[in-house]
Each structure stands twice: as C-alpha cells, then as structure tokens.
Amino acid sequence: MSTQQTPPSPPPRLPISVLTGFLGSGKTTLLSRLIRDPAMVRTAVVINEFGEVGLDHLLVEQSDENMVLMDSGCLCCTIRSDLAETLRDLYMKRMRGDIPEFDRVVIETTGLADPAPILHTLMTDPLIASRFRLDGVVTTIDTVHGMGQLDEHEESLKQAAVADRVVLTKTDLAEPAKVEALRRRLHDLNPGAVHVDAQKDQGLPVLLFDAGLYNPATKSLDVQRWLKAEAYEGGDDHHHDHDHGHCDHDHGHCTHDHHDHGHEHHAHDHGHDHHDHSHCDHDHGHCDHDHDHVHGHDHHHHDVNRHNDKISSFVIRSEKPLPWDGLVTFFETVAKAQGDNILRVKGLLNVEEAERPIVIHGVQHLFHPPVQLDTWPTADQSTRIVFIVKDLKRETVQELFDSVVNAKAA
C-alpha cells in the first residue's frame, strides 16, 4: 500500500465494471440485453466471443476482427491473448481515434473464474492501473440453482462476496420463496451489495454501473453510498445464519426460520435494493438513520460478524484519529498474513496527520492508492474499515488493529 496522501480527486481514470457469475448464471444473457440498451453509448464491452451475444444485424460498423460498434453506441470487443493486452489495445485505439471514444468498460469473465486475478490485473498492471479504475464487480446469481452453487463451489461464494451489484437471474423460473431465501443468504454474505432483478428491473446500466466512489450524478466522491458501513453493523442477530446448508434442502423452512426470528427488515432492505438506482441514495437515508442509532452504542459490541459458510463480513471502527504509519503497518501486515483470506476491504480513515479523511480500497493483498476526500461525508468522523473475508475471524483482525494502530495512537 502506498503512503502517498494526496492523490488526485476524483480520479481521472476510466471506470471498469467486472461482470462475473457462475457457469450458466446468465452473464451472456445480461450482456446481450445491455449492449442493445441506448444507455450503453460510450461503453466498451469486453466479451469472449461475438457469437455468444448474438450481434447479427445490430452491428453497424466493424473496425477490425476484434471490435464492432453497435447501433446503441456500445463498442463490443473480444478478448485477445489476454485481458491486459486487450485493455491496452482498447486504450491506444481510443487515443488514436481509431475507435469511438468510450467512457467506461465492462468486462465479462468466464464462468468458473475466481474474479480476484482479474481484479489484480486491473490494479497491478502499471499501464492499466494508470488509465483505468475498478468501478465495481457485478455478479449474476441464478435463482434456480444459485443456492446449490453457493453450497458446492467456493468460486460462486467468492463471486457473490466481492460483488458491488448482485444480479438475480431467472426469477421468472424460480419459486418466490426460494428467491427470497437466496436474497437473504446473499445479503448475509455481502450486506453492502445492491440487488437487481434481471427480469423485473428496468434501466440496467444505471443500476449496475457507477458503483464506485465517484458518483457521476453529483460529480463528486460519494463515500457513504460506496462504503455502506452501516449495512455491516447494526443490531442484527445472525446466529442462525450458519445453517445455509439447510436452505438448499428446505427453503420453505429456511424462510420461515428467518421470519420467526424477526428479520422482516431484511425483506424491507431487499425491497429497496431492486427498485431503481436512486434507491441507493434512499437507502442511505435509511442507513444514516440506523447508523445514528448504532452510533450511540459501543460499536465493538454492535459489530456483527455475519457468517455465511466460511465467508464473513465485519467493520473495524475507531473513534479517535489514527497514526498513518500504524494504519499502513496494519494493512501491510493483514495483507501479508491473510491476503488470500481477504476478499475485499473498503475503508474511510481518520488519520492524525491528515486534515481530511482518506479512503482505501483493496482486493485480497492489493490496495488501490488511497484517495483523500475534501470533507467528511457526514458528521461521523470515525474510522470505518469494512472487511469481507474467508476463514478469518473478526477478533484476529481486531486484535491486530488494536496492537498496531491503537497501540501507536495511545
């Protein structure tokens, strides 16, 4: 992690959305819909093959064998030898004016892929990292088979855990109770992700993209919307969530269980999630409220370690300003010791030496350069670091934080 404290804000790099999801979960179907949508104008979509998205007569212009322009204004491009080369090539052609200018990129990954290596490429290849930034991860989940896939395939769990947007597919085929049980499980697995219904929701590009720190609607950095720390906190008691194996065998039972435990507010959250993008902001109003409620309490007791198989998420919170070198040591140590178990980290930091808050963002052991915000997003000036992890206890991370950061702060 770099110790640079004042990188440019907002970042001028082109946003990339990574589309992932299990085999047959509906990535291509979603992409075929997206590339025909006029809102995808000035978007470059990187796919495996043209054939899979059925371009046929929609194609208006082919610049070379790897690239076509759709009449929606969406540029479709197939992967060359590897992703890094494809992105470099795209960027150079854009610079030279060989292809229409595009403002964002969407990359489809293959079905069984652990998305982490792709995210690594985006963050580590110097040419790519200086021209592009990760906007978000979009994960398709099949509502008919998704529960079983989450049980049986770790890749599927990881894809859901790193998502900024979860697209529920095949809701026209699945029983509503199963869809609801899956929604709950996904929410427990990754409370910050917004759920979108591929069948019912309209305006998919708006719902799926701009999931990052930069909010094009307000033309500013929107850390509340991005961090969603409140979604990982709050007084939820998720002790019964451990038994998701049951869900696959007995969804009705599982749904009942949740209701029996008074989790109606989950359904409420989900209801908000899949309406339209503006609900993100509405959600925030909602979350702020929750957050104020939580704020008056001892956060260490209210942070809930949500278990979903081996994956859990939690927030490390600290009220006092923290020394930068302590924070750097903490992130370096945690990345070195537990890098493989850290799926995603997002943090808003109150740093002693900095007048303004600093935002960090990491995938496994890699971190984007920190970004300094102009102001605090709300009156709450505490440090909040969201972790989504695998096989890693909250206590382990908290202990390290206490010994490295809090000890230095004391």
Ligand X SMILES: Nc1nc2c(ncn2[C@@H]2O[C@H](COP(=O)(O)OP(=O)(O)OP(=O)(O)O)[C@@H](O)[C@H]2O)c(=O)[nH]1
Give the C-alpha distances (Å, rounded to integers) separating 240 from 39, 185, 250, 309, 389.
Answer: 42, 11, 15, 12, 19
For residue 391, give both structure tokens.
């096989």
Return phi, psi of residue 193, to 5°.
-75, 140
Distance in Å, CB of 105 to ligand X, minimum: 18
- Give the residue, chosen from 14, 76, 186, 198, that forms a contact with ligand X under the rule CB under 6 A: 198
Asked if 102 and 87 count as a contact pair (C-beta separation under 8 A), the reply is no
Distance in Å, CB of 238 to ligand X, minimum: 29
Distance (Å, rounded) from C-alpha 32 to C-alpha 45? 10
For residue 257, give both structure tokens.
């269980």
Using CB under 6 A as the binding rule, whether residue 199 contacts ligand X is answered as: yes
Contacts of 289 (CB under 8 A, 6+ apart): none
Using CB under 6 A as the binding rule, whether residue 127 contacts ligand X is answered as: no
Distance in Å, CB of 21 to ligand X, minimum: 5
Q: For residues 23 and 337, which CB has a smaller minimum distance to ligand X in the complex? A: 23
Q: How many CB atoms lie within 10 A of CB 369?
A: 17
Q: What is the CA radius of gyration of the chain?
A: 21
CA 184, 190, 191, 195 dihedral sign is negative
Distance in Å, CB of 260 to ligand X, minimum: 31
Using CB under 6 A as the binding rule, whether residue 23 contacts ligand X is answered as: yes
Using CB under 6 A as the binding rule, whether residue 378 contacts ligand X is answered as: no
For residue 353, give both structure tokens.
């030496």
Q: Which stretch binds ligand X (CB under 6 A): 169-177, 271-279, 317-325, 400-408?
A: 169-177
- Give the residue, chosen from 10, 11, 24, 148, that forms a contact with ligand X under the rule CB under 6 A: 24
Using CB under 6 A as the binding rule, whether residue 205 contacts ligand X is answered as: no
Q: For residues 172 and 243, which CB has a smaller minimum distance to ligand X in the complex? A: 172
Asked if 363 and 344 count as a contact pair (C-beta separation under 8 A), the reply is yes
Residue type, 324: W
Using CB under 6 A as the binding rule, whether residue 216 contacts ligand X is answered as: no
What is the SS3 assignment for 63? strand
Q: Which stretch binds ligand X (CB under 6 A): 130-138, 170-178, 254-262, 399-407?
A: 170-178
CA 53, 55, 59, 64 dihedral sign is positive
For residue 114, give both structure tokens.
């652990």
- Residues touching ligand X, count (CB under 6 A): 16
Distance in Å, CB of 358 to ligand X, minimum: 37
Distance in Å, CB of 402 to ligand X, minimum: 43
Using CB under 6 A as the binding rule, whether residue 153 contacts ligand X is answered as: no
- Give the residue, chosen from 61, 101, 172, 292, that forms a contact with ligand X under the rule CB under 6 A: 172
Q: How many residues does the chain have?
A: 410
Binding-site string for ligand X from residue 80 to residue 119, where x marks contact by CB under 6 A and - marks none: -------------------------------x--------
- Give the residue, chosen from 94, 104, 133, 170, that forms a contact with ligand X under the rule CB under 6 A: 170
Using CB under 6 A as the binding rule, whether residue 176 contacts ligand X is answered as: no
For residue 201, give both structure tokens.
């929701």
Using CB under 6 A as the binding rule, whether residue 36 contacts ligand X is answered as: no
Q: For residues 31 and 213, which CB has a smaller minimum distance to ligand X in the complex? A: 31
Using CB under 6 A as the binding rule, whether residue 183 contacts ligand X is answered as: no
Using CB under 6 A as the binding rule, whether residue 76 contacts ligand X is answered as: no
Asked if 313 and 342 count as a contact pair (C-beta separation under 8 A), the reply is no
For residue 366, give both structure tokens.
């890699």
Distance (Å, rounded) from C-alpha 53 to C-alpha 45? 11
Distance (Å, rounded) from C-alpha 62 to C-alpha 97? 14
Distance in Å, CB of 47 to ligand X, minimum: 10
**Site residues (vs ligand X, CB under 6 A):** 21, 23-29, 111, 140, 169-170, 172-173, 198-199
